[in-house]
């Protein structure tokens, strides 16, 4: 009797949960100023980006993924769902330490967005070096080694890895006669 009651309870729960399921369709979004041109910044500065995303459709927006064209752009996303008629501010940090010159980046937001499932945000900026002083390789290397000792091994190599080997120490060139082909 208890087994039959447990089976009946499980069947009722499954029917109730399956009846609550709703398929979410495609929706539309609007981003004011989705293509931007920023004023130049110095190498190493951080640019904070803020895009206002509005769900203009009648379905909830589900953000599945955010892909940036460069690892130097870091998204700061609090929510992955946006109800119809609501807005969310998407925040990003662009770290310009690895770029010099004109850069053009794209941020792709993937979700149930009509018609292709992608919303693109684009920006460009000129990253310039300081006019008074440009650091050379040794200074950049020293700063990088101070941050992480892994870089020293990548640049200088490991003492045990010389990039070559020898067959036998008995064939050492220093032990040979000066002109071994001559008979003296």
DSSP 20-51: T------B-EE-TT-EEEPPPEETT-EEEEEE
- Note the pLDDT of residue 165: 47
- Note the pLDDT of residue 126: 92
Render pLDDT for 76-94 as a digit per residue (tens, 0 to 9). Answer: 877 788 899 999 999 999 9
Render pLDDT for 126-177 as a digit per residue (tens, 0 to 9). Answer: 998 877 766 676 777 777 777 776 666 666 666 565 555 455 555 555 555 6
Ramachandran angles phi, psi of 4, nearest 5°: -65, -40
Render pLDDT for 107-122 as a digit per residue (tens, 0 to 9). Answer: 999 999 989 999 999 9
Q: What 3-state DSSP class applies to 70?
A: coil
Q: What 3-state DSSP class applies to 173?
A: helix
* Residue that wins the pLDDT comparison between 20 and 99: 99
As given in the structure block, the two tokens for residue 133 are 């002083």
Q: What 3-state DSSP class applies to 172?
A: coil
Rounded-to-integer distance, Cα 109 and Cα 111, Å: 7
Residue 73 has pLDDT above 80, yes or no: yes
* Residue that wins the pLDDT comparison between 152 and 75: 75
Asked if 135 contacts 114 with a C-beta cutoff of 8 angstroms, the reply is: no
Spatial neighbors of 82 by CB under 8 A, at least 6 apart, are: 53, 55, 60, 61, 63, 88
- Render the burial of 71-96: b for 16+ CB within 10 Å, e for the rest: ebbeeeeeeeebeeeeebebebebeb
3-state SS record for 121-170: EEEEEEEECCCCCCCCHHHHHHHHHHHCCHHHHHHHCCCCCCCCCCCCHH
**Residue (of 88, 77, 82, 78) closest to 112 by Cα position:** 82
Render pLDDT for 22-71 as a digit per residue (tens, 0 to 9). Answer: 788 899 999 988 899 999 988 888 999 999 999 999 999 999 999 999 88
- Alpha-carbon separation of residue 54 from 10, 13, 19, 90, 167 (angstroms): 41, 36, 30, 10, 69
What's the CATH class of domain 29-128?
A: mainly beta
Residue 6 has pLDDT above 70, yes or no: no
Residue 182 has pLDDT above 90, yes or no: no
As given in the structure block, the two tokens for residue 28 are 């539309």
């Amino acid at each position: 009797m208890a087994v039959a009651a447990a089976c009946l309870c499980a069947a009722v729960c499954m029917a109730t949960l399956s009846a609550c399921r709703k398929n979410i369709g495609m929706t539309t979004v609007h981003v004011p100023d989705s293509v931007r041109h920023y004023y130049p910044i110095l190498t190493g500065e951080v640019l904070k980006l803020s895009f206002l995303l509005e769900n203009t459709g009648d379905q909830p927006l589900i953000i599945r993924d955010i892909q940036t064209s460069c690892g130097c752009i870091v998204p700061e996303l609090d929510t992955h769902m946006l109800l119809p008629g609501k807005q969310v501010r998407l925040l990003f940090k662009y770290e310009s330490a690895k770029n010099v010159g004109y850069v053009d980046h794209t941020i792709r937001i993937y979700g149930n967005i009509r018609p292709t499932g992608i919303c693109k945000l684009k920006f460009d900026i000129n990253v310039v070096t300081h006019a008074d002083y440009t650091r050379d390789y040794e200074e950049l290397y020293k700063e990088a080694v101070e941050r992480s000792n892994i870089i020293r091994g990548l640049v200088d190599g490991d003492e045990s890895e010389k990039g070559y080997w020898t067959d036998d120490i008995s064939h050492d060139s220093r032990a040979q006669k000066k002109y071994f082909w001559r008979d003296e």
